Structure 1
Amino acid sequence: MSETLDCPTANAAPTASRWQALADQVLAGEPLTAEQAGEVLACPDSELLNLLDAAYRVRRHYFANQVQLYLLMNAKSGLCPEDCGYCSQSKDSQAEIPKYNILSRDKLMDGARVAKERDARTYCIVISARGPNEREMKAVETIVPEIKEKYGLHICACLGLLTDDQAQRLKACGVDRVNHNLNTGQGHYEKICTTHTFADRVDTLKAVRSAGMEMCSGGIVGMGESNEDLVSMAIELRELGVHSIPVNFLIPIEGVDMPHQEHVTPQYCLKTLAMFRLVCPDREIRIAGGREMHLRSLQPLGLYAANSMFVGDYLTTMGQPPEEDYQMIRDLGFEIVSESEASVC
């Protein structure tokens, strides 16, 4: 009796071509639709490597095998009046974290020194706040020129909601980029925060854009959002013209009551990174907070879709030792981009 056997080689071509067709589409300048982006997130695990191969084609076209490194400085911790449900620094958080006002000049300069030593291209100055007060604005305006003169770093400021005037002042003092994450899709936003709106965040990004600075904005995966919410956010970021997109994965923190959080697998994290790459093909995609916990041993695969990452710790959680990041980049055959080599979208 004879029987028909599945042939892996024969079956591989249609599977691979499904995702390569999306890569062809975006490389030809035709944006992914929301439906197509949803298909990426719903990719079967058995097709994951084929999907990553397609995402890597797009990543390599725009960014070669370069990896840009970022270092975060939590310049003001806790003491925030907002109720963002995912955040250990919110007014509702019971997490045991350091709480302090904006750091001194010497500490901010020392953070810049560490960023330079770790081959980071960008130094991110972050404060917990609804928006910066005048003292905080003046501290940033004073320190940024010093940092740029001494270390030549690209400066990203994350100061909360900004007015048009504040954005203009940041541009004038030398800030290159402002981070203000959308965090999730518009339809899901009121489930994670009630003290400000999704529209407030979009308005801040528009103020940054009008001031002539680069926009950095991304989201957090694992807050009970749907695939449609993630796709909606990715398309919004694309349409706003955001330059850099950090993709965070929710880190459960004791004392932070995030009722909608859900487990995400390493495979789903990789699909999310691939979706952002294909929706926003020429934008910097950064593997951000939670990569160590959620991607685990699959972290290196994330860099086939993403082209940047944080090195060192995050705001109130620990990252892995920088040496492990450097080794991972070397093992992939990738290279850390220097300031002189970096290109801006």
Structure 2
Amino acid sequence: MSDQELSVTQTPGTTRWHDLAERTLAGEPLSFEQGLAILRSPDIELLDLMSACYRVRHHHFGNRVQLYFLMNAKSGLCPEDCSYCSQSKVSDAEIPKYNLLNEEKLLEGARLAAERKAKTYCIVISARGPSEREIETVTTIVRKIKDQYPIKICACLGLLDDDQARRLKEAGVDRVNHNLNSSENYYGEICTTHGFSDRVETLRAVRDAGMELCSGGIIGMGEKDEDVVDMAFSLRDIGVESIPVNFLNAIDGTPLEGSSGLNPRYCLKALALFRFANPDRELRIAGGREIHLRTLQPMGLYAANSLFVGDYLTTKGQAPVEDYRMLEDLGFEVCRDGLPELQADPLTVIG
């Protein structure tokens, strides 16, 4: 065992986590053993772990937080069998089902995203991959949004080929979201209609087209600690710019209904793992934060530097005004990364 690994597996308490922060800030990559040690650390060390994690987060991002607004532009009707998803063909969840929203509604979503001081407007459809009509509609609306609002666009459209990725780039899409969702080893347990390699290939097409990568995963689907570390390392190896970490919302009617077994302390340790594994990458607390972090939500921002403000795909999120107050109480500031500042006070936005 190396000296680097000894520092987090044998040194007690505060010392080992701040030693890990020092090594991370010096450019040393996290080892697999260190990743497991983070997830399996005793709860009594949680505050020390988050303190050390915050040193890394603050070094790269200060107290800035980036906000994202998500629009479920096409709901349900998906032919894939992802066991966690309420929109899949194997789900009996009672959710709205509709085809791609019209231009007026997508523009209204962009307006609301800008009003809420979101850095990025996320357009999401449920599908294996976009049809020609859907690609054409999305590229057309992205151009109009860019003409009207000072906001970045992230598209989440399923599996993409090289030509589709190129067209999205040409339309002005800044970033594409396509989550790995779990480790390569565990992926077959949550989906059989496509594989882990299909997701990696989509990320390659997006990168080759010149767009940024947004990719993360879901924790609480029955995977082992080793799978969580594997996923964090896969994202590091691919070099994604933005990492959304979701905590399973085990929706009634899905194959994973009633599962997860998460607690807030483990969720915080998972966020710390992703920060140490990807120290200078945007880390977002995504779906399930209200359910699983509960009253410890603010602590998650000592690791993460990004949040969704508003609802998720088929589930409700915390009211935006509560998110703004949480950030204010933490002494953190909303950052739009060079985009023009807006005049609206986000504390006046309810809904």
Tell me the TM-score normalised to structure 1 length: 0.94
2:262 to 255, 264, 279: 264
Aligned to 2:211: 213
1:38-88 CA distances to partner (integer Å, 9 max, x unpaired)? 111111100000000111000000000000000000000000000000000
Deviation at 1:332? Answer: 0.2
Where does structure 1 differ by over 6 angstroms across 4 or more consecutive aligned residues?
none
Instruction: For residue 259 of structure 1, report the CA deviation from its aligned partner.
Output: 6.8
Residue pair 2:252, 2:258 contacting (<8 A) in 1 also: no
The 2-side partners of 1:34 and 1:203 are apart by 24
Give unmatched runs, 5+ long, in structure 1: 1-12
| Match status 1:125 vs 2:116 | no
Instruction: Figure out how many residues of one structure are paired with residues of the other and give that number.
Output: 330
Q: Tell me if the contact between 1:224 and 1:260 (Cα under 8 Å) persists in the aligned partners.
A: no
Over the matched positions of the two proteins, sequence identity in percent amounts to: 65
**CA displacement at 1:221 relative to structure 2:** 0.6
Q: Which residue is 2:243 aligned to?
A: 245
Deviations 1:95-118 (A, max 9, x none): 111111100000000000110111
2:26 alignment partner, one of 25, 28, 38 = 28
The one of 92, 99, 103 equivalent to 1:94 is 92
Amino acid at match of 1:83: D
Equivalent in the alignment of 1:4: none
Three-state SS of the structure 1 residue aligned to 2:95 is coil
Give the deviation of 1:26 after TM superposition: 1.2
How far apart, in 2, do the equivalents of 1:149 and 1:281 lie? 34
1:262 positional shift: 2.4
Separation of aligned partners in 2, 1:45 and 1:38: 14
Question: Which of 182, 194, 197 pairs up with 2:195?
Answer: 197
Secondary structure in structure 2 of the residue aligned to 1:70? strand
Which residue of structure 2 lines up, in the alignment, with residue 107 of structure 1? 105
In structure 2, the gaps of 5 or more residues are 1-10, 341-351
Asked if structure 1 preserves the Cα contact closer than 8 Å seen for 2:271 and 2:300, the reply is yes
In the alignment, which residue of structure 2 is the partner of 1:10? none
The CA deviation at 1:14 is: 4.4
Please state whether the residue corresponding to 2:82 is helix, strand or coil: coil
Specify the alignment match of 1:255 in structure 2: 253
Asked if 1 retains the 8 angstrom alpha-carbon contact of 2:61 and 2:305, the reply is yes
Pick aligned residue for 1:174 from 172, 176, 179: 172
Q: Is the 8 A contact 1:48 1:267 kept in 2?
A: yes
* CA distance in 1 between partners of 2:12 and 2:230 (Å): 28
Corresponding position of 1:43 = 41
Deviations 1:120-172 (A, max 9, x none): 01000000000000000001110001111111110000000000111111111
Contact 1:266 1:296 in 2 (8 A): yes
- Structure 1 residues 259 and 314, CA, compared in 2 at 3 Å: closer, same or farther? closer
Classify the secondary structure of the residue corresponding to 1:186. coil
* Secondary structure, aligned partner of 1:309: strand
Moved more, 98-107 or 331-340: 331-340
In structure 2, how many angstroms separate the alpha carbons of the residues matched to 1:104 and 1:157? 16
Once residues 166 and 97 of structure 2 are traced to their aligned partners in structure 1, the CA distance between those partners, rounded to angstroms, is 29
Separation of aligned partners in 1, 2:132 and 2:311? 28
